[in-house]
Amino acid sequence: MEGRAVTYRADRLILAHFGVAFATFAVAIILGAWQMTVRSGLNPVFTSPEAYFASVTAHGTIMGYVMPTLFVMGFGYFVAVTSLDRPLPNTRLAWIGFWLIMAGVVMAMAPVLAGKATVLYTFYPPLTGSVFYYLGLVLVVVGSWFWIALMIWAMSDWKKDNPGKPVPLAMFGNVANAFLWLWTTAGVAAELLFQAIPASLGWTQTIDIGLARTLFAWTLHPIVYFWLLPAYIAFYTMAPRAAGGRLYSDMMGRLSFLLLVLYSLPVGMHHLFTDPEHGTGFKFLQMMLTALVTVPTLLTIFTIGASMEIVGRLRGGRGLFGWIGALPWDRPMVLATGLSFVLLGFGGFGGTINMSYGMNAMIHNTSWVTAHFHLIYGGSVVTMYFAIAYEFWPKLVGRQPLSLKPIRLQLWLWAIGIVVTTFPWHVLGLFGEPRRVATFDYANPAIAFWQPWTIVSMIGGYIMLAGGLLFVWNLVTLYRGPEADRQMHYAVALHPPQRVPSALNGFALCNWLLLFLMLMAYGYPIGQFFFIKDYPAPIHRVDLGG
């Protein structure tokens, strides 16, 4: 396939999304390191429970909503113009979406900084914050819906002009993520509009916490896959080419993306295993469906492993594992893919514990959970965000990096930081250390032995911080680099597809199956709150300070 230049006047649009995403990211990792310091009992400046929880709210809101949404949108616009080789159907709408998000971010973060929305980023009533926090996040979601529309529109326009041709794999994954996001946001949007916002305006006295938690669970799991999909798209469409090879199978990529959409949605109740509002039946059903997510993961590990093995052997690698050493590890995308796979392996192991109905009780609401998602999301996903930024940024600004050394150093620092942070954190979780607690009484002999573990974990946090700041620095120095080729090339499949079944070239079947699964998985669990039982609780307004 020919390379495509990033023109079509989307460059500034994409840079705006990435720029804000990574600027807020830099703020959030500083908060993260400070939070680690507070928890380790070293009493840094400004230590107080209020400051800690306001900080966790800001950190979680940025890392959970602001940074990834903007990153995924910028990524999507880039992939759309480069893989389809045509302008966006409507650039003005894309900018409107962007500015809605900017307005939303300011509106949401102001009350967080003022301590009026210290509700963390999971909307679990009866704790209710300032209405501006919720309205701001609604704007973020609505802004991202513009992106969804543009992605679907871009793909269907292209299909109209290229009848019978397979949609380029990168764009296919991208539109899969757009549909995924549409389904995902429905839960939290319903919770915000019908529950949280009326509560924060004082229109209602009570709030149904059972329903609220269920609607949030609807969103909480698939949002993780929304964060994850760009990483998977990079595995399939960028890593094999970066290594100098081809993608082993295009079909596997399509199948994985579809399965990720299908099996990320009807599973969110695995976050509610210890909640009383649901019976065991639907918890078990959703656990079974959760387990299916291993299928696309294993498909991906197999396909990318095979793609890389071909490269390694062509480069002279021998024996069962010799090809691994023969890969061009000096290239950032290859290195990032390797590191990301390793972190994904550890994180995936932890995840199987979380999703097992029985074992979940061991680690519920302990530091294990925070460790798990930092490993998967902060570790394997964000590592790929870095690699993607290193791939796209030179094309966007037409400059090459001065040297690859600081880039490799950055990736290593981040990966080591993640391991040093999260391994002790997992251990602490097994010892029962609760998550979302600001300070611990290490003078108490029963938990005194936690402190050394938290201090090691904190050191890991600072290594990550160094890695994160070096990332920003690397992007800044890029502007001083020599001129670069602005053509984007995606990996070509070993056997480029000529024609694929429509089930693998569009989303109609996927959406129908998803509708069926969502009705099965959430129909009764949500319906029961309206017909059988409800869980009203008095609203607790944190913005009223009393």
**Long-range contacts of 437-440, Cβ-Cβ distance < 8 Å, separation of 24 or more:** 437/39, 438/38, 438/39, 438/47, 438/49, 438/52, 438/53, 439/38, 439/39, 439/41, 439/47, 439/49, 439/52, 440/39, 440/41
Strand-pair category, 206-208 with 536-538: antiparallel
Q: Does 436 bind ligand HEM (CB under 6 A)?
A: yes
| Least distance to another protein, CB of residue 83, Å | 14
Instruction: Tell how far CA 180 is from the center of its chain.
Output: 12
Residue 424 binds ligand HEM, judged by CB under 6 A: no
Six token digits for residue 41: 């009992």
Which tokens belong to 440?
Answer: 């611990």
Of residues 109-138, those binding ligand HEM (CB under 6 A): 120-122
Question: Contact with another protein (CB under 8 A): which of 3, 44, 244, 279?
Answer: 279
3-state secondary structure of 406: helix
Q: Tell me: does residue 527 bind another protein (CB under 8 A).
A: no
By C-beta, is 229 or 259 nearer to ligand HEM? 229
| Shortest reach from residue 233's CB to ligand HEM, in Å | 17
* Dihedral over Cα of 41, 46, 49, 54: its sign: negative
280 binds another protein (CB under 8 A): yes
Query: Does 164 engage in binding with another protein (CB under 8 A)?
Result: yes
Q: Is position 63 an interface residue for ligand HEM (rule: CB under 6 A)?
A: yes
Is 482 an interacting residue with respect to another protein (CB under 8 A)? no
Tell me if 297 sits within 8 A of 319, measured CB to CB.
Answer: no
The DSSP code sequence of 99-163 is HHHHHHHHHHHHHHHTTS--S-SS--TTEE--HHHHHHHHHHHHHHHHHHHHHHHHHHHHHHHST
User: Which residues in the 369-398 window bind ligand HEM by CB under 6 A?
Assistant: 370, 374, 377-378, 382
Query: Is 372 among the catalytic positions?
Result: yes
Q: Residues 436, 489, 540, 541: which is the catalytic one?
A: 436
Shortest distance in whole angstroms from residue 105 CB to ligand HEM = 16
CB neighbours of residue 318 within 10 Å: 11
Among 246, 254, 270, 435, which one carries the catalytic annotation?
435
CB closer to Cu ion, 213 vs 221: 221
d(C-alpha 542, C-alpha 546), whole Å: 7
**283: contact with Cu ion by CB under 5 A:** no
Least spacing, CB of residue 356 vs Cu ion, in Å: 12
Mask: binding to ligand HEM, 443-462, rule CB under 6 A, as x and -? ------------------x-
Q: What track of x and - describes contact with Cu ion for positions 207 through 226 (by CB under 5 A)?
A: --------------x-----
Give the one residue of 205, 320, 476, 480 binding another protein; rule: CB under 8 A: 205
DSSP string for residues in 21-38: HHHHHHHHHHHHHHHHHH
Q: What 3-state DSSP class applies to 496? A: coil
Nearer to another protein, 279 or 345 (CB): 279
Handedness of CA 120, 124, 130, 135 (dihedral sign): positive
Comparing CA positions, the residue from 51, 195, 196 lying closest to residue 131 is 196
- Whether 391 and 483 have beta carbons less than 8 Å apart is answered as no
167 or 382: whose CB is closer to ligand HEM?
Answer: 382
DSSP collapsed to 3 states, 469-491:
HHHHHHHHHHCCCCECCCEECCC
32 touches ligand HEM (CB under 6 A): yes
374 is catalytic: yes
Go through 169-183 and write b for each residue having 16 or more CB atoms within 10 A of its CB, e for each that does not.
bbbbbbbbbbbbbbb
Tell me if residue 357 falls in helix, strand or coil: coil
User: Which of another protein, ligand HEM, Cu ion, none does 506 bind, CB closer than 5 to 8 A by kind?
Assistant: none
Which of 52, 132, 225, 490 is an active site residue? 225
Annotated catalytic residue: which of 221, 270, 271, 426? Answer: 221
Structure tokens of 100? 């809605």
Least distance CB 436 / ligand HEM (angstroms): 4
User: Under 8 Å CB-to-CB from 435, ≥6 apart: which residues?
Assistant: 365, 366, 367, 369, 370, 429
From 3, 325, 496, 523, residue interacting with another protein (rule: CB under 8 A): 496
Q: What is the largest CA-CA distance in the chain?
A: 71
- Whether 364 sits among the annotated catalytic residues: the reply is no
By CB under 8 A, tell whether 545 contacts another protein: yes
Give the binding site for Cu ion (CB under 5 A): 221
- Positions annotated as catalytic residues are 221, 225, 372-374, 435-436
Binding residues for ligand HEM, per CB under 6 A?
29, 32-33, 35-36, 39, 56, 59-60, 63-64, 120-122, 370, 374, 377-378, 382, 435-436, 461, 464-465, 468
Residues that bind another protein (CB under 8 A): 1, 49, 162-165, 205-206, 262, 277-282, 284-285, 288-289, 292, 439, 441, 443-444, 496, 498-499, 501-504, 509, 513, 516-517, 520, 524, 528, 532-533, 536-538, 542, 545-546
